[in-house]
Structure 1
Amino acid sequence: MGNPDGARGWEEQRQGPVLRRRDQVQPGTTDQRLLDTEGDSEWVHTDPWRVMRIQSEFVEGFGALAELPNAISVFGSARTPQDTPEYEAGIRIGTALVEAGFAVITGGGPGAMEAANRGAREAGGVSVGLGIELPFEQGLNPHVDIGVNFRYFFVRKTMFVKYASGFVVLPGGLGTLDELFEALTLVQTGKVTRFPIVLFGSAYWSGLVDWLRDTVVAQGKASERDLLLFHVTDDVDEAVALVTKETSR
């Protein structure tokens, strides 16, 4: 506790880089509060403590994924049934990516994500799942060989981009669209370079592409060249070729 004699006219306390004065001064010291066996447990719900959790998630993610080979992140709906062409396409994409020398990263869930992980695992490749804590959590699918579960979406998003050389995006919902537009924005703004994005399934994605061209670009909200940031295909071999030719390190 600083300034006990009131020479400055106010009480002052320094806690590392934080300066507290007047009625913001806290009783005791940081060490005392750390070592006390009794006391309020609300501190575990404070923002400073959340920062430590966030930091730990980055450390765990970086540690788990740092030695991955070149990888591609594959996105798609958790609701894709197994007995559908979309699921089969996911398996074939996972297999083809491994055969092209890539690890496969997904969100670790069921549906299209499971399909891509399954294809990668059955092809003898590295199958990665990056899960997220959700109210309807279903856990990592059984085809994941390296799995990391996250509390925070933004930490998980960093891992998808940092450890992947490109994205293949199967038909999906809001989570898939979130990852897609995150990647498009990063490429458009130059935050990442040489990052191919392939939309698989022209029938599914055509309405979105039409809207981007006929509304967003037409009204000047984006540039015509922004439509070149992604490719659309229905062919597995073409999808893999598109990410392969742009991902040499």
Structure 2
Amino acid sequence: MTEHDRRHPMRHAREDVETSVGVPSTPQSRSPSYRLAFADEDFLCREELRPVRLQLELLKTTLLMDEANIVSTVVLFGGARIPRPETRDTARTETLRGLADQYEEARRFARLVTEKSLAETGGTENVIVTGGGPGVMEAGNRGAAEAGGRSIGLNIVLPHEQAPNEYVTPELAFNFHYFAVRKMHFLVRAAAVCVFPGGFGTLDELFESLTLIQTGRMERVPFLLFGETFWRRIIDWEALRDAGTIGDDDLDLFRFVETAEDAMATMAEWHLPRTRREALHR
């Protein structure tokens, strides 16, 4: 029980949970109706309790992040199937074998971001957050761990999903039932969004994040796409503009980068006027 829990004079809920376990076993005490509502998993999983479960998923992660003093994050989205460089030969396609280099860039980028965070803020700002799984996600958490810093993993329960990767900071490993709440937690503290090659999940995260920025529902932050060749092959950005379904300015919401160093420089220059950014690269 924490000091905060002792600020009021009422009996603590945890004490009643412990007491209720030891009551004599009778037909009445064994009845589901007798269980404490907040300790009754069957009750909490009822259809009518969905709003409560949504609130709990939002609140638990928020409280634990606040208690861990996570002020801001750098988001890494990317595919679970991107192989480590040393296992590229086992990848099932030639493209995936080539994308193994993106694992290493994600790892190096996370390491650089975390080193800078530790030096400048003691590791409270620009904390790496990933989906907590394998591939690019593992690379991001791994790079942060190699720098001696913390990183966050936002996993979700899937039919064939694995445990969080071994590099996520244990007290910052979260698990979700609702995709919507999970995606909200990716972005509510985001100081930058970095997207590596991936599949449906990565594309979903990419476009939802861009839509929030485009529509003004989210502040504009550095938005980096790693691997220009991949992204131009997958998405015809200019075709969207030429069709009139997005505007010219929408193509300026993001930048292509190739290396961890490119990404760090682009983040540093992000809020400079366009003419100043261009002058730096002449």
Q: TM-score range by the shorter chain?
A: 0.7 to 0.9
Question: Residue 37 of structure 1: CA displacement?
Answer: 3.6
User: Is residue 61 from structure 1 mapped to residue 87 from structure 2 by the alignment?
Assistant: no
Q: Distance in 1 between matches of 2:43 and 2:107?
A: 46
- What TM-score, normalized by structure 1, do the two folds share? 0.78
Q: Distance in 2 between matches of 1:141 and 1:189?
A: 34
User: Is residue 176 from structure 1 mapped to residue 178 from structure 2 by the alignment?
Assistant: no
Q: Give secondary structure in 2 for the equivalent of 1:218.
A: helix
What does residue 50 of structure 2 align with? 50
User: Is residue 36 from structure 1 mapped to residue 33 from structure 2 by the alignment?
Assistant: yes
Say if 1:100 and 1:244, in contact at 8 Å, map to a contact too: no
User: Is residue 120 from structure 1 mapped to residue 144 from structure 2 by the alignment?
Assistant: yes
Question: Residue 43 of structure 1: CA displacement?
Answer: 5.7
* 1:157 paired residue among 175, 183, 189: 183
What does residue 192 of structure 2 align with? 166
- Which segment is superposed worse, 76-85 or 147-156? 76-85
Deviations, residues 212-235 of structure 1 (Å, cap 9, x unaligned): 212x11111110110001000112
Aligned length: 210
Q: Give secondary structure in 2 for the equivalent of 1:194.
A: coil
Letter in 1 for 2:83: P
Question: Residue 242 of structure 1: CA displacement?
Answer: 2.3
- Matched ranges for 1:7-26 at <5 A: none
Q: Distance in 1 between matches of 2:60 and 2:176?
A: 10
Q: Distance in 2 between matches of 1:130 and 1:42?
A: 25
* 2:159 paired residue among 125, 132, 135: 135
Q: Distance in 2 between matches of 1:177 and 1:87?
A: 17
Percent identity of the aligned residues? Answer: 38
What does residue 73 of structure 1 align with? 75
Q: Give secondary structure in 1 for the equivalent of 2:190.
A: coil
Deviations, residues 161-207 of structure 1 (Å, cap 9, x unaligned): 00221111111111111111011001000011132210001121122
Say if 1:194 and 1:246, in contact at 8 Å, map to a contact too: no
Question: Residue 53 of structure 1: CA displacement?
Answer: 1.0
Structure 1: which 4+ aligned runs deviate by more than 6 Å?
A: none
Say if 1:95 and 1:120, in contact at 8 Å, map to a contact too: yes
* 1:91 paired residue among 99, 103, 107: 107
Question: Residue 149 of structure 1: CA displacement?
Answer: 0.5
Q: Give secondary structure in 2 for the equivalent of 1:165.
A: strand
Q: Give secondary structure in 1 for the equivalent of 2:81.
A: coil
User: Is residue 193 from structure 1 mapped to residue 209 from structure 2 by the alignment?
Assistant: no
**Which runs of no fewer than 5 residues in structure 1 stay unpaired?**
1-33
What does residue 97 of structure 2 align with? none
Q: Distance in 2 between matches of 1:169 and 1:242?
A: 14
Say if 1:77 and 1:172, in contact at 8 Å, map to a contact too: yes
CA RMSD of aligned residues (A): 2.1
Question: Residue 104 of structure 1: CA displacement?
Answer: 0.3
**Where is the helix percentage greater, Structure 1 or Structure 2?**
2
Structure with bigger gyration radius: 1
Letter in 2 for 1:86: Q
Q: Give secondary structure in 1 for the equivalent of 2:191.
A: coil
Q: Distance in 1 between matches of 2:267 and 2:64?
A: 24
**Which runs of no fewer than 5 residues in structure 2 stay unpaired?**
1-30, 36-40, 86-99, 118-125, 272-282
Say if 1:65 and 1:163, in contact at 8 Å, map to a contact too: no
